[in-house]
Amino acid sequence: MYKIFFRWTSLLSFLIVAAQCSSVEKKEGDPVSSLGENVFVFSPDMDMMEVQQLIDSIFEVQTKPESEFNENRFAFLFEPGQYSLDVKVGYYTQVLGLGQSPDDVVINGAVRAVSPPSHNGSVLINFWRSAENLSINPTVDSTNVWAVSQAAPMRRVHVRGNLRLHDYGAASGGFLADSKIDGVVDFGPQQQWFSRNSEWQSCTGGLWNIVSQGVLDAPKEDWPNRPYLSLDYTPLIREKPFWTQDALGELSLEIPTLKEKTNGVSWEDGYDPNSRKIALSDFYIAQPQHDNAESINSALNQGKNILFTPGIYWLENSIEVTQPGAVLIGMGLPSIIPESSKPVIKIADVADVTLSSILVDAGLVQTEQLIEIGEPGADSDHSEHPTSIYDVFVRVGGYHAGTSQNCVTINSNNVVVDHIWLWRADHGNGAGWDTNKAANGLTVNGDDVTIYGLFNEHYQEYQTIWNGENGRVYFYQCEMPYYVPSPDVWQNDGKNGFASYKVSEDVATHDVWGMGIYNVFFNSPAIVDWAIEAPEQLEQRFRHVTTIWLGGNEGSEVKSIINGKGDAVNKTNRKAIW
């Protein structure tokens, strides 16, 4: 047994003691006392100097270089009211307002992510953090800074000023949804960004693939002269669930209504009477110190939903979801890791399941897949009650030398995915061609699957394989694997390399909007014949595609964009479009 027990740093222990001796104290019997010592609930009547000191101390730990793959996990929950704070958000930190509307929680100051001091403005590895369901009244230059790359969503946020999505250095983000920006959104040097169902006054900047969907005042298109793709509406979405607190201090999770053809924010017209509310008492509150797959499955079988509190969960068996309508949600970006060859999460072919706000790390024993949605051959129609996936981040390597054949397999029909990052590590612990092995990030076998914001990169064969009918992807970001040992070991059915995105030959209908496929080929020259492989009749249904040669050895090349068509990218011609 290779299990690594969850460890707390000595500084973290100090912070907990300090919190218990201050106005941030957790009192026995509070509704949130069962959420664990790394969930901090703040109220407006607390001493803001003590709250600020606590936030600063945690940020200091969670922004150190070694914190990118540490084991600490935190959640900051803000009760309704006004706060004067600079909420700096480091690794594995989730900031949540508890109001019915984002405007119920007002942070006068900032909720910000910035470049670590050693990175000279770059935020290329500002991952794994989030801000949700609150409003920000920026007090410095009327601008809030959320300078991030992948796996750092901002949702259901009202910025009462400008929003800057960079820190004057390189950036490779990112995701914004259901948010209102009263001023200007500055993308700056962001290579790509996906915004959905939001509103802003105007925007500026961006390099290659800036996609806005259902965004009021989105930029006008001038492709390929400018990097913008703007789609008028979102065809089908149930906004991400959010936590609220009532007058008695009780927490509930609000499940918004499934809606069609929407634009703008969901919350400006007030409370949705058709939303579903789940009391905290209807959740099994999982704790990393003592829970396992057996205890979690027992709770699911009793009709409970699952709330994963902050920490690392090592599982010898799969979490098996068989009940329609079940909710599995994380708080404080918990990590779930398999200790066997079994998937971490298996969701049966049932309707209306919610999976949200978790990290999954591949284990040291290879799995066929880490998350399986629907059994092979699933054929039920879930169009009226689709399963929804939000902010799920999967890693192979980085934390340790994990391995998995495929990360996520979707067999069910009508699944809606709203922001996912599937990452085979290019740096960190256990990152190497023969170490963190993984062939594919995503395989879709179900029909009518829709993904908003698909980030999927560095896998050793196809990044994405799509076998189902009527698939739709809005925004795709991918880097092919960095360290291919040699061209002759990276071959596929007589072709050089593996396409980033493959649609099977027998698929009749498939649509993609806004693709950025990037290449950094080190070690030896790497050659890829096609960036996209798809049936010929679907070629024109790939819209606004960009391929970029970011760097690599002399002789490295992506020879075409799709099926041998479109320009090559290499050291001489670094950008091509479709």
Pairwise CA distance, residues 518 & 550, whole Å: 7
For residue 280, give the 3-state DSSP assignment.
helix
Predicted local confidence at residue 28, as pLDDT: 52
Cα atoms in the Cβ-side hemisphere of radius 13 Å centred on 374 = 27
Pairwise CA distance, residues 570 & 563, whole Å: 17
Q: Phi and psi at residue 248, in whole multiples of 5°?
A: -90, 0
Instruction: Dump strand ranges (E) for 344-401.
Output: 345-347, 354-361, 367-373, 388-396
Pairwise CA distance, residues 151 & 567, whole Å: 31
Nearest to 101 by CA among 269, 257, 237: 269
Distances (CA, A) of 312 to 7, 60, 333: 9, 21, 9
Instruction: Dump strand ranges (E) for 206-282.
Output: 209-213, 228-231, 234-238, 242-245, 251-255, 258-262, 276-279
Pairwise CA distance, residues 392 & 335, whole Å: 10
**Where does residue 201 fall: left (phi above 0), alpha (psi -120 to 50 degrees), or beta otherwise?**
alpha
* 402 CB-near residues (< 8 Å, 6+ apart): 337, 361, 362, 363, 364, 395, 396, 430, 436
For residue 57, give the 3-state DSSP assignment.
helix
In the predicted model, what is the mean pLDDT of the chain?
A: 94
DSSP letters spanning 62-117: HTSGGGGG-S--EEEEE-SEEEEEEEE--TTEEEEE-SSSGGGEEEEEEEEB---G
Length of the chain: 578
Nearest to 475 by CA among 420, 512, 444: 512
Distances (CA, A) of 302 to 281, 282, 446: 13, 10, 28
- Please say whether the dihedral angle defined by the alpha carbons of residues 524, 559, 421 and 317, taken in this order, is positive or negative: negative
Predicted local confidence at residue 101, as pLDDT: 97
Q: Tokens for 325, please give them.
A: 């309508």
Pairwise CA distance, residues 317 & 334, whole Å: 17
The residue with tokens 């079994």 is 342
**533 belongs to the catalytic site:** no
Per-residue pLDDT of the chain (578 residues; tens, 9 = 90+): 233 333 333 344 444 434 443 445 555 555 567 899 999 999 999 999 999 999 999 999 999 999 999 999 999 999 999 999 999 999 999 999 999 999 999 999 999 999 988 888 999 999 999 999 999 999 999 999 999 999 999 999 999 999 999 999 999 989 999 999 999 999 999 999 999 999 999 999 999 999 999 999 999 999 999 999 999 999 999 999 999 999 999 999 999 999 999 999 999 988 888 899 999 999 999 999 999 999 999 999 999 999 999 999 999 999 999 999 999 999 999 999 999 999 999 999 999 999 999 999 999 999 999 999 999 999 999 999 999 999 999 999 999 999 999 999 999 999 999 999 999 999 999 999 999 999 999 999 999 999 999 999 999 999 999 999 999 999 999 999 999 999 889 999 899 999 999 999 999 999 999 999 999 998 888 999 999 999 999 999 999 999 999 998 889 999 999 999 999 999 999 999 99
Predicted local confidence at residue 16, as pLDDT: 45
Q: Tokens for 291, please give them.
A: 């829970």
Q: Catalytic residue among 132, 372, 479, 557, which?
A: 479
Strand 93-97 and strand 74-78: pairing?
parallel
Cα atoms in the Cβ-side hemisphere of radius 13 Å centred on 440 = 18
Pairwise CA distance, residues 140 & 55, whole Å: 19
Query: Is the separation of the CB atoms in 246 and 252 below 8 Å?
Result: yes
Rg from Cα positions in the chain = 22
Predicted local confidence at residue 27, as pLDDT: 52
Other Cβ atoms closer than 10 A to 376: 9
For residue 190, give the 3-state DSSP assignment.
strand
Predicted local confidence at residue 272, as pLDDT: 87
Query: Is the separation of the CB atoms in 113 and 91 below 8 Å?
Result: no
pTM: 0.95
Query: Is the separation of the CB atoms in 328 and 319 below 8 Å?
Result: yes
Q: Tokens for 333, please give them.
A: 């970006």
DSSP structure class, residue 489: G
